């Protein structure tokens, strides 16, 4: 019986098939939205003679690896590479049949199948396109790596936090003991990462507890925004006369938020030196035009210690290092009143949080004498409505921590007679704070005021209010406008 020509012509790269087979001829690959190359050499990820059309589920095309190797003139001695996805496919097929059948089916050596089955867990954890697990098992300075790893285990047993900077310092110390030249071993960050990967170590981050937003979030946002809009329309503030101020603690020890521990470990408990409570309070202020007010530093103690401090900041002291009503009035006099561009007869607006020392009668009276309207942020919304929280505090603290780490890596760390690390000099720490404060860009501050809906165009603010009102629960009417006095006492 003569073979009739099939309705669907097979692709050019398919050889003659047995039409007497019980399987129908496969449809053209274009109907599946797929494109396969004319020459298998265009697919270097497939093994020699790999029948990829069978793996994709097209029966009837049962060319063997030898047929494909002869068709494309593959050399049995040619070295081929396979990705992890292909290897897993071979391993699964071998587990359901046997190694020999898998080798014939996928056109690979049986030895490869045996080797891949031995490393199946690694293949499952690897990226599907990864081809090899190469790389040195030990670093160039294996003894240094080993001793640093022992140091990490020792610190873990004590419960002390370990940072990558501390590991780098320890590695430099060990390298000096072993007379390794500085040019040959620098204990770089790249070395630290590779060493941690070789010893299954990872960074564990301290997870802060997020601020819980109030249930009546939408109502408070609308009330606050309506109040700010009412003040802006009533007094027509200049952009340079709208500001935000707040006090924030800055720790002298700057404890790290991360520690090195074994991969996959559960929450890790660490000990601290106990001096993280030794901190200063910084009253910071920014204006809507991007300018920064001089930092107002409050030291803990009854007097300001002697020393050389950076210029451009105001330094005061308090027994507990807190901001008080008297210090708030002093800040208004020495910082807010003396700000550049302040005009006695031109009104300004100062946005503060709900700290009770901000809204006292004496502070209100002082601000009224300076032609300044006070706006209090509703309780629980400082993370959303305070410019300093939105764009300033994180880069400020990151910069201070980076300078502290560089100071440690420079070898300036001194030890007390009991063996504990001494804190950095106060003048140096204040210089770090000043450098970090100056690094805050004016553009980010301007964008922060707009993000908090303080300095945006009034026409745009109307659109935002309309969007918020449409989302009020129950479809009720939005809260009524409130004046400055009601907003001050609404915390």
Contact (Cβ atoms closer than 8 angstroms) between residue 19 and residue 64:
no
Contact (Cβ atoms closer than 8 angstroms) between residue 281 and residue 327:
no
State how far Cα 29 lies from the chain centre.
Answer: 44
| Average pLDDT in the chain | 75
Contact (Cβ atoms closer than 8 angstroms) between residue 314 and residue 334:
yes
Specify the DSSP element, H or E, that contains 245. strand 242-251
Number of neighbouring beta carbons within 10 Å of residue 322: 13
- Rounded CA-CA distance 106/110 in Å is 10
Residue 272: left (phi > 0), alpha (psi -120 to 50), or beta? beta
- Rounded CA-CA distance 253/408 in Å is 12
- Rounded CA-CA distance 379/213 in Å is 9
153-178 pLDDT per residue, tens:
888 787 777 888 889 989 999 998 99
Nearest to 184 by CA among 176, 193, 194, 192: 176
- Rounded CA-CA distance 385/250 in Å is 21
Contact (Cβ atoms closer than 8 angstroms) between residue 6 and residue 60:
no
**Sheet of 372-376, strand order:** 314-318, 296-300, 279-287, 242-251, 348-352, 372-376
- What's residue 256's pLDDT? 60
What pTM was computed for the model? 0.55
- DSSP states of 154-213: HHHHHT----HHHHHHHHHHHHHHTT--TTT----HHHHHHHHHHTTEEEEE--PPPPPP
- Rounded CA-CA distance 26/430 in Å is 76
**How confident is the prediction along the chain (491 residues), in pLDDT tens digits per residue?**
444 454 545 555 444 544 444 445 545 545 544 444 444 444 444 444 444 444 444 444 454 544 544 444 444 556 788 888 899 999 999 999 999 999 999 989 999 999 999 999 888 888 888 887 765 567 788 899 999 999 998 887 877 778 888 899 899 999 989 998 888 888 898 899 888 888 888 887 666 656 666 777 778 888 888 888 888 888 888 888 899 999 998 876 655 666 676 666 655 555 555 556 668 899 999 999 999 999 999 998 889 988 889 999 999 999 888 899 999 999 999 999 888 877 777 889 999 988 888 888 999 999 999 989 999 988 888 888 899 999 999 899 888 888 887 777 676 666 667 666 677 888 999 999 999 999 999 999 999 998 888 876 665 554 444 344 444 333 333 333 333 333 333 33
Collapse the DSSP code of 315 into the 3-class scheme (helix H, G, I; strand E, B; otherwise coil) and give the result.
strand
Nearest to 412 by CA among 402, 427, 424, 400: 424
- What's residue 95's pLDDT? 93
Contact (Cβ atoms closer than 8 angstroms) between residue 245 and residue 278:
no
Using alpha carbons, list the distances in angstroms from residue 232 to 206, 222, 241, 455. 41, 15, 11, 9
Contacts of 355 (CB under 8 A, 6+ apart): 247, 323
Contacts of 113 (CB under 8 A, 6+ apart): 90, 91, 94, 99, 102, 103
Q: Across-strand partners of 308?
A: none
The residue length of the chain stands at 491
Nearest to 297 by CA among 335, 242, 353: 335
Q: Give the up-direction half-sphere exposure of residue 282: CA atoms within 13 A in the CB hemisphere.
A: 25
Orientation angle between helical segments 110-118 and 99-106, nearest 10 degrees: 120
Nearest to 224 by CA among 410, 490, 462: 490
State how far Cα 355 lies from the chain centre.
Answer: 30
Nearest to 233 by CA among 467, 393, 68, 459: 459
- Rounded CA-CA distance 158/331 in Å is 45
Nearest to 341 by CA among 242, 446, 241, 244: 241
436-477 pLDDT per residue, tens:
999 999 999 999 998 888 876 665 554 444 344 444 333 333
- Rounded CA-CA distance 132/112 in Å is 13
- DSSP states of 263-304: TT---------S-TT-EEEEEEEEETTS-BPPPEEEEESSSP
């Amino acid at each position: 019986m003569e073979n009739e020509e099939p309705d669907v012509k097979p692709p050019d790269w398919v050889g003659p098939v047995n039409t007497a087979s019980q399987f129908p001829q496969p449809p053209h690959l274009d109907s599946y939205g797929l494109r396969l190359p004319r020459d298998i050499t265009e697919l270097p990820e497939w093994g020699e003679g790999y029948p990829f059309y069978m793996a994709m589920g097209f029966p009837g095309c049962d060319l063997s690896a030898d047929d494909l190797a002869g068709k494309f003139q593959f050399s049995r001695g040619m070295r081929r590479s396979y990705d992890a996805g292909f290897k897993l496919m071979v391993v699964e097929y071998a587990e359901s049949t046997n190694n020999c059948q898998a080798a014939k089916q996928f056109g690979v050596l049986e030895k490869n199948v045996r080797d891949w089955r031995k490393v199946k867990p690694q293949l499952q954890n690897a990226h599907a396109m990864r081809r090899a697990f190469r790389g040195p098992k030990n670093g160039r300075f294996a003894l240094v790596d080993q001793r640093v790893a022992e140091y990490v285990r020792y610190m873990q047993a004590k419960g002390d936090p370990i940072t990558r900077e501390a590991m780098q310092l320890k590695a430099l110390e060990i390298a000096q003991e072993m007379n390794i030249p500085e040019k040959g071993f620098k204990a770089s960050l790249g070395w630290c990462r590779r060493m941690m990967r070789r010893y299954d170590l990872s960074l564990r981050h301290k997870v802060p507890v997020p601020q819980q937003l109030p249930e009546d979030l939408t109502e408070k946002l609308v009330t606050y925004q309506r109040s700010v809009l009412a003040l802006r329309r009533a007094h027509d503030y200049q952009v340079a006369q709208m500001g935000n101020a707040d006090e924030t603690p800055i720790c002298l020890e700057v404890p790290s938020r991360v520690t090195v521990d074994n991969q996959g470990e559960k929450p890790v408990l660490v000990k601290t030196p106990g001096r993280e409570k030794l901190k200063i309070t910084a009253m910071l202020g920014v204006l809507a035009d991007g300018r920064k007010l001089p930092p107002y530093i409050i030291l803990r103690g009854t007097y300001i210690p002697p020393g050389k401090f950076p210029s451009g900041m105001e330094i005061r002291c308090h027994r507990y290092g807190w901001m008080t009503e008297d210090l708030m009035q002093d800040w208004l006099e020495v910082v807010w009143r003396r700000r550049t561009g302040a005009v006695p007869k031109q009104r300004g607006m100062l946005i503060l949080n709900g700290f009770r020392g901000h809204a006292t009668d004496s502070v209100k009276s002082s601000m009224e004498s300076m032609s300044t309207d006070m706006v209090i942020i509703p309780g629980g919304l400082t993370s959303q409505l305070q410019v300093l929280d939105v764009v300033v505090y994180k880069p400020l603290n990151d910069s201070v921590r980076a300078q502290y780490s560089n100071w440690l890596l420079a070898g300036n760390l001194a030890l007390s007679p009991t063996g504990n690390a001494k804190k950095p000099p106060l003048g140096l720490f204040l210089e770090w704070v000043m450098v970090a404060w100056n690094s805050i860009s004016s553009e980010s501050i301007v964008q922060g005021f707009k993000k908090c809906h303080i300095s945006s165009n009034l026409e745009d603010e109307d659109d935002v209010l309309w969007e918020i009102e449409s989302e009020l629960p129950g479809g009720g009417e939005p809260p009524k406008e409130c004046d400055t006095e009601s907003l001050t006492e609404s915390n």
